[in-house]
């Protein structure tokens, strides 16, 4: 057995028995361009949840190693000429940036060295970036190479729509659909979008985000006796998260409940615009922008809150959500949700059961939903329990890890 001993300071995010995996397991290569950005906790959880396959990560660079400890990482850095490539392919030719043939051969050689039985590529636009590699793998499959390496490409939301108005990108993503053995999607709505773009239905597999419920204790939410409602939204501060709608709805809600407060946890380019709007609406003193928060800090904010906001909307570039991870974690903790009929959100939040759903960009409808949630004494406890039950039924990490390994077996066998 390989020596995978770690110190007592090992991240608690890793499963307790992760380092006891045996080397005889088939290798599932995991391609993530940057392993890992702070907002990619869900990818880390998914990789480290594997049990029947041994994950080996391939990446161009590594970040946040203390936050995301992992031993089996192969770094394949960009070539020195990547800036020239970027200028040539994107600016001059007007097409998506793809790796060189030499890079594709180097990745394939690495896959052979680690004896990978498959490669799982995270995010559709990275599948486009790796098209020369997918071409090599597809050619080997046609030649009946004995140790073929099937490719899986997973789509998470934004990577399913952006730049589809550009013919070169549309052609490239259709080649990804053709070359990949399986296309993973986080939601039924995302599967429908891929089919609309030409993806074969027989290649699409639903694999939802997994939430480690054993790490998130359930707390029954009840209405505050003094009207001091605490609302929470946790996300990147970008347009598709609907933060402007949140602020306008909260301003209306707080006229009925002047003791209410809204916490917005996260960082992003929209912060100046949002702080200015809060000032114009006269709610600056009741809105707290925390900036980036750690997982323990976020959990504390969740337990101190009564309602979770996530009124997502289609972004200016066509960007859509799958099923937001922060929303699922909040639901697992017992937080009812006020959100929108957007992307995969309705597959998690059952309208008027585990929360309320309203049309995109409709702050009046969102405010009315919040007032409705606050109006009945038994509404919050009922929705609190239903939210946690919904996550347990559809988004449990063990359930989804088993589902992923079933798909791995399918493409290998």
Residue 357's DSSP bridge partners are 339
pLDDT at 2: 36
Taking alpha carbons only, the member of 73, 33, 70 closest to residue 56 is 73
The pair of structure tokens assigned to 226 is: 């003094």
**Cβ(145)–Cβ(116) under 8 Å?**
no
User: Identical fold at 23-210+396-412 and 214-394?
Assistant: yes
Domain boundaries, the chain: 23-210+396-412, 214-394
Report yes or no on whether pTM surpasses 0.85.
Answer: yes
pLDDT at 8: 30
- The span from the CA of 407 to the CA of 207, in Å, is 9
The pLDDT value given to residue 45:
95
**Exposed / middle / buried, residue 269 (Cβ in 10 Å: 0-12, 13-18, 19+):** exposed
- Beta-carbon contacts of 179 under 8 Å, excluding residues fewer than 6 positions away, are 131, 134, 135, 137, 138, 151
pLDDT at 317: 73
- Residue 119 CA: distances (Å) to CA of 150, 273, 380, 412: 7, 41, 44, 10
CA dist 45 and 15 (Å) reads: 9
CATH topology of domain 214-394: Rossmann fold (3.40.50)
Residue 11's pLDDT is 45
Q: Among all chains, which residue has been given the structure tokens 């509404």?
A: 379
What string of pLDDT tens digits covers the 413 residues of the chain?
333 333 333 344 555 455 455 558 999 999 999 999 988 999 999 999 999 999 999 999 999 999 999 999 999 988 777 677 766 666 665 678 899 999 999 999 999 999 999 999 999 999 999 999 999 999 887 666 567 899 999 998 766 555 666 788 889 999 999 999 999 999 999 999 999 999 999 999 999 999 999 999 999 999 999 999 999 999 999 999 999 999 999 999 999 999 999 999 999 999 999 999 999 999 999 999 999 999 999 999 999 999 999 999 998 777 788 899 999 999 999 999 999 999 999 999 999 999 999 999 999 999 999 999 998 778 899 999 999 999 999 999 999 999 999 999 999 98
Name the CATH topology of 23-210+396-412: Rossmann fold (3.40.50)
pLDDT at position 6 is 32
């Amino acid at each position: 057995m390989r020596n995978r001993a770690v110190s007592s300071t090992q991240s608690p995010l890793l499963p307790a028995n992760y380092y006891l995996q045996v080397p005889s397991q088939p290798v599932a290569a995991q391609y993530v361009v940057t392993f890992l950005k702070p907002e990619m906790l869900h990818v880390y959880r998914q990789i480290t949840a594997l049990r029947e396959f041994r994950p080996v990560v391939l990446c161009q660079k590594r970040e946040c190693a203390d936050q995301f400890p992992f031993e089996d990482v192969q770094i394949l850095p960009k070539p020195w000429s990547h800036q020239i490539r970027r200028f040539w392919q994107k600016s001059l030719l007007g097409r998506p940036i793809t790796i060189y043939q030499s890079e594709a051969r180097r990745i394939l050689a690495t896959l052979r060295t680690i004896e990978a039985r498959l490669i799982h590529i995270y995010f559709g636009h990275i599948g486009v970036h790796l098209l020369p590699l997918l071409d090599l793998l597809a050619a080997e499959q046609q030649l009946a190479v004995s140790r073929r390496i099937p490719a899986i490409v997973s789509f998470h939301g934004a990577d399913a729509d952006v730049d589809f108005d550009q013919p070169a990108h549309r052609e490239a993503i259709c080649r990804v659909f053709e070359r990949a053995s399986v296309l993973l999607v986080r939601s039924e709505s995302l599967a429908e979008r891929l089919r609309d773009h030409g993806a074969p239905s027989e290649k699409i597999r639903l694999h939802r985000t997994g939430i480690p419920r054993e790490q998130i204790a359930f707390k029954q939410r009840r209405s505050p006796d003094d009207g001091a409602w605490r609302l929470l939204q946790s996300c990147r501060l970008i347009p598709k998260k609907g933060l402007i709608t949140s602020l306008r709805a909260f301003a209306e809600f707080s006229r009925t409940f002047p003791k209410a407060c809204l916490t917005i946890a996260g960082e992003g380019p929209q912060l100046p615009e949002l702080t200015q709007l809060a000032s114009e609406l006269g709610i600056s003193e009741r809105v707290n922008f925390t900036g980036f928060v750690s997982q323990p800090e976020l959990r504390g904010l969740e337990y101190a809150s009564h309602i979770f906001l996530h009124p997502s909307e289609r972004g200016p570039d066509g960007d859509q959500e799958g099923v937001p991870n922060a929303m699922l974690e909040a639901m697992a903790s017992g937080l009812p949700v006020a959100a929108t009929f957007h992307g995969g959100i309705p597959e998690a939040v059952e309208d008027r059961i585990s929360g309320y759903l309203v049309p995109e960009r409709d702050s009046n409808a969102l405010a009315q939903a919040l007032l409705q949630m606050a109006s009945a004494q038994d509404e919050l406890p009922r929705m609190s329990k239903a939210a946690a039950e919904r996550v347990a039924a559809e988004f449990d990490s063990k359930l989804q890890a088993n589902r992923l390994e079933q798909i791995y077996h399918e493409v290998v066998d």
